[in-house]
């Protein structure tokens, strides 16, 4: 099984900040990496597929990069609605998610 | 508008059975792989099963193999999850999810809660 490890597990930031969340796979997954945002009590929402492909309707302040085993999600100029939990997911062999990164308001 | 509406969740005792349904609309259901993903209270996301667009192939996570069965009715635009021999650790919100480009999960239902407790 492919293990996905996100860091940090939690993060405090302020509106307007730039934040980066890292996701590491236990083996190479090429670019089969997706990012999701989940708000409390809601279903997850797909933000980025294939490591860097921003989904339609997702603000351009979100971006993804990486390939192989190391990936990042970057949010520039944080907005109040961005405070949520973020999950990475590999879809190279079966599917597995990272443990999540909770982004909180400082 | 894509919609996925789960139903069938509830409370039951260990060893019991339950069937979840997911009614799909707003897209051509028969063209998409479909998935079930669950989330235990306060925990992360776990993929548990998927089914090919025509229903000819299905896969399961080790934790549910032999106990859960995924199926679909493309004429009714509905996805199912038959859950047997339920355990306390199966307690979770179960999400119906559409397979998207790049093997992503591009639309999610609102989820249905399954609680297994003695």
Phi, psi for residue B89 in degrees, rounded to 5:
-75, -5
Residue B14 reports pLDDT greater than 90: yes
Closest Cβ–Cβ partner in A46, A96, A98 for B104: A46
Yes or no, beta carbons of B35 and A97 under 8 Å apart: no
Q: What is the mean pLDDT of residues B42-53?
A: 98
Separation of first and last alpha carbons in chain B:
40
B118 to chain A, closest Cα gap in Å: 25
For residue range A26-74, what is the model confidence (pLDDT) as tens digits? 999 999 999 999 999 999 999 999 999 999 999 999 999 999 999 999 9
Residue B102 reports pLDDT greater than 90: no
Q: What is the pLDDT of residue B55?
A: 96
Q: What is the pLDDT of residue B101?
A: 86
For chain A, percent of residues with pLDDT exceeding 70: 100
Phi, psi for residue B103 in degrees, rounded to 5:
55, 35
Tokens found for residue A87: 């999950």
Contact between B8 and B19 under an 8 Å Cβ cutoff? The reply is yes
Tokens found for residue A29: 């997954």
Residue with tokens 């993804």: A64
Partners of residue A34 in chain B, C-beta under 8 Å: 102-105
Phi, psi for residue A96 in degrees, rounded to 5:
-150, 150
Contact between B27 and B98 under an 8 Å Cβ cutoff? The reply is yes
Nearest to residue A33, comparing CAs of A67, A82, A74?
Answer: A67
Sign of the Cα torsion A42, A43, A49, A53 reads negative
Contact between B44 and A100 under an 8 Å Cβ cutoff? The reply is yes
Q: What is the pLDDT of residue A86?
A: 98
For chain B, percent of residues with pLDDT exceeding 90: 98
What band does A18 get if pLDDT is binned at 50, 70 and 90?
Answer: very high
Tokens found for residue A41: 């009590």
């Amino acid at each position: 099984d492919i293990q996905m490890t996100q860091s940090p597990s939690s993060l405090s930031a302020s509106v307007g900040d730039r934040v980066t969340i890292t996701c590491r796979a236990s083996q190479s997954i090429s670019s089969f990496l997706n990012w999701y945002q989940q708000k409390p009590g809601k279903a997850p929402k797909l933000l980025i597929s294939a490591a860097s492909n921003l989904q339609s309707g997702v603000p351009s302040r979100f971006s993804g990069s990486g390939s192989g085993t190391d990936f990042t999600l970057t949010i520039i100029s944080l907005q109040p609605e961005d405070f949520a939990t973020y999950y990475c997911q590999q879809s190279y062999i079966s599917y597995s998610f990272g443990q999540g990164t909770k982004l909180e308001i400082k | 508008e894509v919609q996925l509406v789960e139903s069938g969740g509830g409370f039951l005792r260990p060893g019991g059975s339950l069937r979840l349904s997911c009614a799909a609309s707003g897209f051509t259901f028969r063209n998409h792989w479909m998935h079930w993903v669950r989330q235990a209270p306060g925990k992360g996301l776990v993929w548990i099963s998927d089914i090919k667009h025509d229903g000819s192939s299905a896969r399961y996570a080790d934790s549910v193999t032999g106990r859960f069965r995924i199926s679909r009715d493309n004429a009714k635009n509905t996805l199912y999850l038959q859950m047997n021999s339920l355990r306390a650790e199966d307690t979770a919100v179960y999400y119906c999810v559409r397979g998207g480009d790049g093997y992503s999960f591009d639309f999610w239902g609102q989820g249905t809660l399954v609680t297994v407790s003695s």
